[in-house]
């Protein structure tokens, strides 16, 4: 039984979200029919056996609760961590490409060479990491319906393109949405900045239009990164509602604005990047002796 799925520092906060999950994961079982579903999966995947450290050891003579990359609890298999397994090729979307496991909450396929469209996901999934692959397609227009229980969703560093469907805002429980380093274009859906997200990472895409002025009074964002897009216009004043912001990176877009003094209310801000925009006027704010007491990095450089 492995809990190392959550070992990386970045995932520690998630582990506390899933605290009961992490504790359950200590004692679990992998049932007979699940073992054969997992073996079927192994047979359909193309992976480099010389580089694989998990799949390559999946052995039908060993109880699947002991397989690397498989997490179980008393309900059976609840997590699949096939990250960094040098899996290539396309997942077969004609059937569900992932095994039909009724309690599969965690799907981690990070750092492989998977290509083609987004694999079909089951609605119970809480954690989906497909980052650092070679997926290239539009996101299905009804993506929000795929993710009714999803807290973490990362498609970072792939070749996804097209616009970000508005339906993603139906994924109400989302706390982390990372679409960075793809080729998304079009506008940022207005509903996206009024969701209850903690992390919204859209950096390195080709998004156009303005940053929507729809940050709500309940704004829970700790990180907002839109660096490296084709956004223009002014910074939205409703951003002042996001008093929990720690990292605000709006560098390398085409914002044209005076220095955003209203950000002075963001007392948690550690990192503020405004580089390579068209900010003008004096830096700093009248009637304020110190802006952002926590600020550690302020990047105002221009190209
Ligand atoms: C694995 O072991 C558990 C009990 O520890 C058992 O319930 C389960 O059926 C076993 N799985 C297989 C595939 O034999
Ligand atoms: C990923 O796998 C490669 C071997 O294919 C290994 O060298 C590297 O350390 C692994 N990275 C992680 C983060 O596990
Ligand atoms: C998935 O499993 C459930 C119950 O275990 C079953 O009702 C359903 O038909 C299965 N779906 C597919 C596509 O096999
Ligand atoms: C990525 O996918 C494309 C096909 O969409 C393929 O031509 C290319 O070789 C893949 N790159 C890698 C690194 O696997
Ligand atoms: C962006 O993603 C590509 C793969 O699509 C990767 O090769 C590149 O290193 C990534 N760049 C950054 C800065 O993350
Ligand atoms: C904060 O959000 C509310 C809507 O919930 C909005 O009316 C208000 O203008 C926002 N605050 C700022 C400073 O924009
Ligand atoms: C900034 O915070 C003060 C109280 O801390 C509040 O009165 C004011 O309306 C806030 N300004 C904005 C732009 O949210
Ligand atoms: C700013 O500092 C000056 C002197 O250091 C002090 O008199 C003034 O009250 C301060 N203003 C605010 C708004 O804190």
Tell me the domains of the chain and their CATH numbers: 7-299 (3.80.10.10)
What residue's CA is closest to ligand 2, atom 4? Answer: 51
State the distance from the centre of ligand 6 to the C-alpha of 232, rounded, in angstroms: 21
State the distance from the centre of ligand 6 to the C-alpha of 73, rounded, in angstroms: 44
Find residue 183's DSSP bridge partners. Answer: 161
> Could you identify the atom of ligand 3 that is nearest to the CA of residue 102?
5
What residue's CA is closest to ligand 1, atom 3? Answer: 29
pTM metric for this prediction: 0.86
State the distance from the centre of ligand 8 to the C-alpha of 290, rounded, in angstroms: 9
Q: Are 143 and 166 in contact (CB under 8 A)?
A: no
User: In testing the pocket of ligand 6, which one of 238, 245, 262, 266 has its CB within 8 Å of the most ligand atoms?
Assistant: 238
Q: Phi/psi zone of residue 62: left (φ > 0), alpha (ψ -120 to 50 degrees), beta?
A: beta
DSSP states along the chain: ---GGG-SGGGHHHHHHTHHHHHHTTS----HHHHHHHHHHHHH-EE-TTT-SSGGG--TTS-GGGSTTEEEETTEEEEEE-TTS-EEEE---SS-SS---TT--EEE--SSEEEESPPP--TT--EEE--SSEE-SPPPTTHHHH-TT-SEEE--SS--EE---GGGGG-TT--EEE--SSEEEEEPPTTGGGS--SEEE--SSEEEE---S---TT---SEEE--SSEEEEPPPGGGGG-TT-SEEE-TTSEEEEE--GGGGG-TT--EEE--SSEEES-SS-TT-S-S-TT--EEE----
User: In testing the pocket of ligand 2, which one of 84, 132, 133, 157 has its CB within 8 Å of the most ligand atoms?
Assistant: 84
Per residue of the chain (303 residues), give pLDDT as tens: 233 333 333 344 444 444 444 444 445 788 888 998 999 999 999 999 999 999 999 999 999 999 999 999 888 899 999 999 999 999 877 676 777 788 889 999 999 999 999 988 888 899 999 999 999 999 999 999 889 999 999 999 999 999 999 999 999 999 999 999 999 999 999 999 999 999 999 999 999 999 999 999 999 999 999 999 999 988 899 999 999 999 999 988 888 888 787 777 788 888 988 887 777 777 666 655 555 666 777 777 765
């Amino acid at each position: 039984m492995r809990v190392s799925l959550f070992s990386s520092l970045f995932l520690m906060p998630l582990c506390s979200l899933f605290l009961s999950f992490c504790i359950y994961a200590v004692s679990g079982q992998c049932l007979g029919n699940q073992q054969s579903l997992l073996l079927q999966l192994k047979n359909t995947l193309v992976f480099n056996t010389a580089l694989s450290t998990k799949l390559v050891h999946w052995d039908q003579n060993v109880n699947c609760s002991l397989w690397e990359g498989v997490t179980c609890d008393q309900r059976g298999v609840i997590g699949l961590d096939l990250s960094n397994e040098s899996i290539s090729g396309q997942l077969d979307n004609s059937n569900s490409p992932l095994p039909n496991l009724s309690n599969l909450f965690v799907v981690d396929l990070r750092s492989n060479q998977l290509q083609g469209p987004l694999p079909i996901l089951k609605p119970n999934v809480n954690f989906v990491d497909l980052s650092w692959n070679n997926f290239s397609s539009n996101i299905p227009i009804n993506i929000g319906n795929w993710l009714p229980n999803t807290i973490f969703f990362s498609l970072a560093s792939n070749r996804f393109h097209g616009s970000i469907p508005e339906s993603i805002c139906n994924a109400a429980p989302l706390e982390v949405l990372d679409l960075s380093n793809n080729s998304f274009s079009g506008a940022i859906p207005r509903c996206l900045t009024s969701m209850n997200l903690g992390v919204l990472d859209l950096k390195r895409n080709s998004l156009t239009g303005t940053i929507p002025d729809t940050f709500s009074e309940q704004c829970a964002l700790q990180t907002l990164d839109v660096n490296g897009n084709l956004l223009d216009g002014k910074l939205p004043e409703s951003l002042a509602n996001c008093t929990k912001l720690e990292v605000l990176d709006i560098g390398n877009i085409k914002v044209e604005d005076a220095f955003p003094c209203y950000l002075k209310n963001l007392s948690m801000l550690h990192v503020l990047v405004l580089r390579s925009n068209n900010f003008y006027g004096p830096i700093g704010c009248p009637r304020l002796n110190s802006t952002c007491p926590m600020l550690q990095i302020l990047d105002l450089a221009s190209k």
